[in-house]
């Protein structure tokens, strides 16, 4: 009888423990939501929601969803106690990559209702307003703006400064390894490098969460042979204007002036044109010349062989007919 009671008690405890685990697991809600769903939730119960922007401070200042607070992903874990666990957390970034990492981190810290906006701010602003800071106007033509100095350490450990490339055209690319457009831009830069082997290209990872290891893998993925470094000297804030966007391409003349600056994806032909015009005095690198291929008719050689064989067969047939 005693054994039966012990077994029954153990079984009941096990079932209670299992029920507790299932209920706690079901309590944590982490469904990703669309921009439309996020907007509707914010309209219906704004007092129950914390809208969390996990992008960098620079990105947040340039443009964000109204009412959002900013805690960059790189420091979110150290500031997680600032958030109220009893509230619904809607988290977003620029395109959706960082918000997923932030959501997982918050769930690990006991937050029970966490939602990430699919597509991030890019998806939100297709239909809904954002808060933007007014840009400071400049009367100086962009070609006359002196490129701000910087000093960085490459992922290979070498220290370099902007002044090291005085007298050369420099293509400065500001990226993040998780950014889809940045990955697309890398393909264009690889082609640009093939066209201009002597061109100086510097790629700077501006997201604090990018490490030397992730940046090294990013470089190897595209077989890039130019300088890569993390942004340890505020290059992003020095070289981007309103709004701050990644990727951003900046081309600097041999005289140290910014001649081209464009946020977003820049196709190869536009890159080539900007490089060529960076130094009208002849300081631009010389593109490699590929020998002009002669036009070839598809299957021409095979067609010729068939024609020759056909002629020989006909000639042989004529000769044999004459004999008979």
Residues belonging to the active site? 93
Burial of 282 (0-12, 13-18, 19+ CB in 10 A): exposed
- How crowded is residue 281: how many other Cβ atoms within 10 Å of its Cβ? 8
For 216, counting Cβ atoms within 10 Å of its Cβ (0-12 exposed, 13-18 middle, 19+ buried), the class is middle
Question: C-alpha dihedral over 163, 169, 174, 176, to 10 degrees?
Answer: -110
d(CA 96, CA 53): 11
The pair of structure tokens assigned to 35 is 């921009």
- Grouping H, G, I as helix, E, B as strand and the rest as coil, residue 152 is strand
In DSSP terms, 92 is beta-bridged to 53
CB hemisphere CA count around 41 (13 angstroms): 21
Q: Which of 121, 119, 61, 67 is nearest to 243 (CA)?
A: 61
**What is the spatial distance between Cα 121 and Cα 39, in angstroms, rounded to a whole number?**
12
Alpha-carbon dihedral of residues 7, 8, 14, 15, nearest 10 degrees? 150
Give the dihedral sign, CA 77/83/84/90. Answer: negative
Which long-range contacts link 308-314 to residues 24+ away (Cβ below 8 Å)? none
Start-to-end Cα distance in the chain: 116
Q: In whole angstroms, what is the distance from residue 172 CA to residue 261 CA? A: 9
């Amino acid at each position: 009888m005693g054994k039966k009671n012990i077994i029954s008690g153990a079984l009941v405890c096990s079932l209670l423990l299992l029920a507790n685990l299932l209920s706690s697991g079901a309590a944590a809600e982490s469904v990703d939501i669309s921009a439309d769903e996020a907007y509707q939730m914010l309209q219906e119960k704004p007092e129950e929601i914390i809208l969390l922007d996990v992008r960098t401070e620079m990105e947040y200042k340039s443009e964000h969803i109204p009412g959002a607070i900013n805690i960059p992903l790189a420091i979110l874990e150290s500031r997680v106690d600032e958030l109220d666990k009893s509230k619904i957390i809607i988290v977003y970034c620029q395109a959706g990559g960082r918000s997923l990492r932030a959501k997982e981190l918050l769930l690990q810290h006991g937050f029970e209702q966490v939602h990430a906006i699919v597509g991030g701010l890019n998806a939100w602003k297709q239909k809904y307003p954002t808060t933007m800071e007014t840009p400071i106007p400049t009367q100086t033509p962009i070609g006359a703006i002196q490129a701000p100095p910087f000093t960085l350490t490459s992922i290979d450990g070498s220290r370099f400064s902007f002044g090291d490339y005085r007298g050369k055209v420099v293509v400065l690319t500001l990226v993040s390894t998780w950014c889809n457009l940045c990955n697309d831009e890398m393909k264009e830069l690889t082609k640009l490098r093939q066209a201009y082997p002597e061109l100086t290209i510097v790629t700077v990872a501006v997201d604090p969460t990018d490490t030397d290891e992730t940046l090294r893998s990013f470089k190897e993925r595209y077989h890039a042979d130019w300088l890569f470094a993390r942004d340890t000297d505020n290059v992003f804030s020095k070289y981007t204007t309103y709004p701050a966007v990644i990727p951003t391409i900046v081309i600097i003349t041999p005289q140290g002036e910014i001649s081209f600056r464009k946020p977003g994806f820049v196709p190869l032909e536009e890159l080539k044109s900007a490089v060529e015009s960076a130094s009208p005095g002849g300081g631009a690198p010389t593109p490699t010349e590929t020998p002009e291929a002669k036009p070839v008719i598809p299957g021409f050689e095979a067609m010729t062989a068939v024609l020759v064989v056909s002629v020989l067969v006909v000639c042989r047939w004529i000769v044999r007919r004459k004999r008979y």
